[in-house]
Structure 1
């Protein structure tokens, strides 16, 4: 069954093409959506998709209107909503506001200069300089551009000295017009030669600029069940023949695009046909120059129906790697020249839920690394794959892995490589044999799924990448680093990291672990669902306790805890009360606990066990034991009232555990209230 994708902007004057002019958008993203910018550190986050709602180009324009970047960031921050995503943007804006704006202007100039270089259009005079060697070199450059643009979907790969697509469009269009001239010269011999030359040219006229991806993930998408099974695939392809110069000679057929699943042998099966239209887009570059491109796309407004079902009546393409195949027919007007060209996309995954993204991302990363590398001997196997994990991290998070993360990953991969070799050959490892026996990177599938999940959490929450860049977040590592803190009560030390790989549950997002050593090692675990709220408290604590001696460890360097205050502002935690109706006000649990402890009327001191550290002798610690009565009256649905009590109990227990408070907690209903299940409960609270 064919699926027709309809576009509301379709032009009436040109039935099969539409003209779009987007002078307000970022033209560079249209031609190079995953460009690898050179080392620009924290400024990378101005360019990352999802960091801000505006493109980099529009941010630059707005900064001029506001007479400064700082003023623009403050305006954007003050206009944010109160949801968690906006809270994370607030963290990032606060960090940008702390920058030295003299350095900032220079970095912005460098970024714009790099974009200008990517959008250059050096003129080529084919009439005077054409030869077969030159056009073959151009075709080689088209192939190289296809390869780079495909690799940039998942990896940080610089384009090097490759020409821009503007230059390639000019070269391919000039060659097309030259072939038209030769064909019309009425020489039969030349016409035969031209026919073959046209075929080669058409095969090199198409480039997939944006390889298939989903709305939430590079290279993987998911389907939704409404009344039908539908999915969203984002991709766009351009033709290097300039419409303004070839329109009277050439007609492009609306492309037949087919969605295939990859079978066990690497072949394609069960195709779903899609109908796409060639459109036109005019871009503006170099201030006032314009250029028009043929292009077609699938975007997040296009819902593709999955019509092929498996034996369980589920989408056949589910839990598979897939591929798009583009078919375009080129027809040269007033001739008998007609040629169909085919171009295959890179692989992408399709699954039922976002929790499965890491599985298919890992498969695709392994597949692409094996295409990019010659067979690797075991001696360099782990090191080579670590390099590509770093390139993936830099591509999706905007920054490289720190050296301690690279060392940890390579060490873990080397263990797997060694064990795999021993298992396959059933021998102890012999270096000479290892050097002669290459094998696949798919031995890393399981650990790569966990690494991808941790990297993806950082890419989904860009402020974590900024913390990582500021050396306040340790990132991927082993829990053995906890014992290197060596803090004490006078100078406690903090480490913020991911949970260790062994503890990471398959198909679940990783947790963030806070480790504090103040003579005793304590840990707190932050779930991704509460990440923004909990980090907000951390930033607020750094602002309030600016003179604290608490240090943050990162590798072998200590940083002040007050550096977390770079992400805070005076309004970040001003809303401690949330009014839910005209009668009830709920306070934040943390504020409730602090007030309760400070204002409690009943307490007694009990001695705590002595604590020893490497840098100080043991001292006797004391804490206060508080007893209080909390009165709570709720009305409404009985099940929800019980759930409210349970939630309050669990949250209070977890807070006490995280802060090393121990004792007991009792929830007892009033004498005249009905008995509620799960409410009569005494929960022990023990320090973690």
Structure 2
């Protein structure tokens, strides 16, 4: 073995990163797996999610013997760090106020939630392998088939949970990584003993290769799903993408050698496009690192992990002469959908001089997108979302090595809508209100009605807007709390909102408003997403429409809350809390919700006293009797409140 290889093996055996505690260990092994108890307005305290302004600020996790009072103390600590230096702190302050109010009023209920999460952690991080050791070669082969089925199901679950929330009861996972590692280690020893002396050694060798295939899992698929590459005028062109692959094989002995991984980034082909015409970009080799985790029995388990944090786009040597001589032709990296192929070589060393077996395999990541500027994000993410769904929805083992293959059945609207619902929960940490998903289904069905072509192509434009709106809520998490409480309708039909506003106005003879997201059918693209308000004033019959100033949304929401409580927004003092016709409690006082988000700290850091501060981008024009477009963006003016 070359000296460099010996050095790598030594490092793998003798250095390790310790991850103490069940919750951090669980987050390492399954970063997108949560029990249903985590979903709720308090989810920001309990789960990791992608949001640079809020995730690290609010995330507390679940520590041993966690108590509600610990979270209250943490929120108080968070509040002390807030200032009036940036508007993000205004939104953080409203979230702190709401979460603190919830915990104070629901101490026992939240404690029960924490206890159930602790039980879930012990179950997931347990060592419960109940499979008996096979006594014959036939039993070993039979268990190998069972192991292959469990491993493929587990890999599928990791892919499903990348963008969507699935509880354990909703997936066909039969084993966790800890038990699968134990099972694989046990079988590996049996293969090492039986292959050299068994007449069926060729068949057992095939089973061994299946075992090796089942020993590698991508536990974090490419994140973020859309990344912007650096300027093409300066080499090398790069993009920040994080991805982690885990090995269940034990490299602490001389029986197994795993070479450093060579990742290949490649463009995914579009329909009818030959793969040989697509560019591939070899990356720097990745080294394996050892991480030591804690199990429910307080035992230590070692896992080897390799991670990629940046991809590099290098022009291949065989690019055309025209590209070489022309300074005007620039390499084209975006907007395109890619994946990462992790090429791995494993060598199994047998005792007593039996020839070693070398096996090569490729583990393919979920798709991700590369853009040159953020204006391309929305449309490309819709493509990545569909590609991701198609990559795991019908995975079945079709080869004698247990390698998964894809079935090509067309997607249905019901499948897409179900995945959007799960994506909403995954991104926001709450369940959508009852009208949200039917509204989305209606929009997508309208796109496809009496039209030919694939559903994913027909729905592409609407899907980009829908996912963009969900991401918008996730970027401003106070909106998810508003939505959960009933202050914010979220995704809904503006015409339906107007009809209900008319009914309520006629019944109660008062001004009434509704706060929602942009109407999907009136949006031209993802850039048009914003927070809108429909208003029918007392004595009027026509609704008026407003848009919160998107450039200062966090600040404007804080100002709105305070002005409601000060009685300075009389037109908006009554609010529509639902568009569900079955709900008899359609109307409520806006102040009842605003109180949940108010505090002395909010009034200290929020500039609500500025006399001419306008909340709106498209204000009510008192001199114009025509209805203004409910989803337009007109020049700013004085605030109607």
Residue of structure 2 in register with 1:172 after alignment: 184
Q: Does 1:239 align with 2:247?
A: yes
- Residue 315 of structure 1, CA deviation: 4.2
Residue of structure 2 in register with 1:41 after alignment: 40
Decide whether the 8 Å contact of 2:251 with 2:257 is kept in 1: no
CA RMSD of aligned residues (A): 3.4
Q: Which one of 213, 217, 221 corresponds to residue 203 of structure 1?
A: 213
Alignment of 1:168-567 (within 5 A): 168-183=180-195, 186-187=196-197, 189-214=199-224, 219-225=225-231, 227-228=234-235, 229-244=237-252, 247-264=253-270, 265=273, 267=275, 269-274=278-283, 275-286=285-296, 288-299=298-309, 302=310, 304-307=312-315, 313-333=329-349, 335-370=355-390, 372=393, 381-421=412-452, 439-480=454-495, 481-486=497-502, 491-508=510-527, 510-519=529-538, 520=540, 521-545=543-567, 550-556=574-580, 557-562=586-591, 563-567=593-597
Distance in 2 between residues matched to 1:560 and 1:60, nearest whole Å:
39
- Residue 565 of structure 1, CA deviation: 2.4
Alignment of 1:632-671 (within 5 A): 658=619
- Residue 349 of structure 1, CA deviation: 1.1
- Residue 114 of structure 1, CA deviation: 2.2
- Residue 458 of structure 1, CA deviation: 1.0
Distance in 2 between residues matched to 1:243 and 1:370, nearest whole Å:
34
The TM-score with structure 1 as length reference comes to 0.74
Residue of structure 2 in register with 1:630 after alignment: none
Moved more, 544-553 or 200-209: 544-553
Show CA shifts across 1:567-597 (max 9, x none). 2211113146xxxxxxxxxxx5x63426xxx
Distance in 1 between residues matched to 2:210 and 2:134, nearest whole Å:
22
Alignment of 1:89-168 (within 5 A): 89-99=92-102, 100-124=106-130, 126-127=132-133, 131-159=140-168, 160=171, 161-168=173-180
Show CA shifts across 1:296-334 (max 9, x none). 1113xx463454689664443311111111111111236
Residue 297 of structure 1 aligns to a residue whose secondary structure is strand
Residue 533 of structure 2 aligns to a residue whose secondary structure is strand
Distance in 1 between residues matched to 2:266 and 2:144, nearest whole Å:
33
Show CA shifts across 1:172-218 (max 9, x none). 111111111223xx52635434432221211111111111122xxxx
The 1:363–1:455 alpha-carbon spacing in structure 2 relative to 1, beyond 3 Å, is: same
Distance in 2 between residues matched to 1:500 and 1:176, nearest whole Å:
57
Show CA shifts across 1:110-162 (max 9, x none). 22222332222213465357532222111111111111111211222334342
Residue of structure 2 in register with 1:84 after alignment: 87
Distance in 2 between residues matched to 1:231 and 1:14, nearest whole Å:
29
Decide whether the 8 Å contact of 2:12 with 2:288 is kept in 1: no
The 1:506–1:460 alpha-carbon spacing in structure 2 relative to 1, beyond 3 Å, is: same
The 1:405–1:92 alpha-carbon spacing in structure 2 relative to 1, beyond 3 Å, is: same
Higher strand share: 1
Residue of structure 2 in register with 1:20 after alignment: 17
The 1:386–1:85 alpha-carbon spacing in structure 2 relative to 1, beyond 3 Å, is: same
The 1:417–1:12 alpha-carbon spacing in structure 2 relative to 1, beyond 3 Å, is: closer
Residue 260 of structure 1 aligns to a residue whose secondary structure is strand
Show CA shifts across 1:238-263 (max 9, x none). 1122345xx33111100111000123
Show CA shifts across 1:421-478 (max 9, x none). 4xx7xxxxxxxxxxxxxx4432100111111111110122222112111121111122
Show CA shifts across 1:509-551 (max 9, x none). 5111022222243332124321100111122224434998523
Decide whether the 8 Å contact of 2:490 with 2:517 is kept in 1: yes
Distance in 1 between residues matched to 2:205 and 2:530, nearest whole Å:
61
The TM-score with structure 2 as length reference comes to 0.79
Q: How many residues are matched?
A: 562
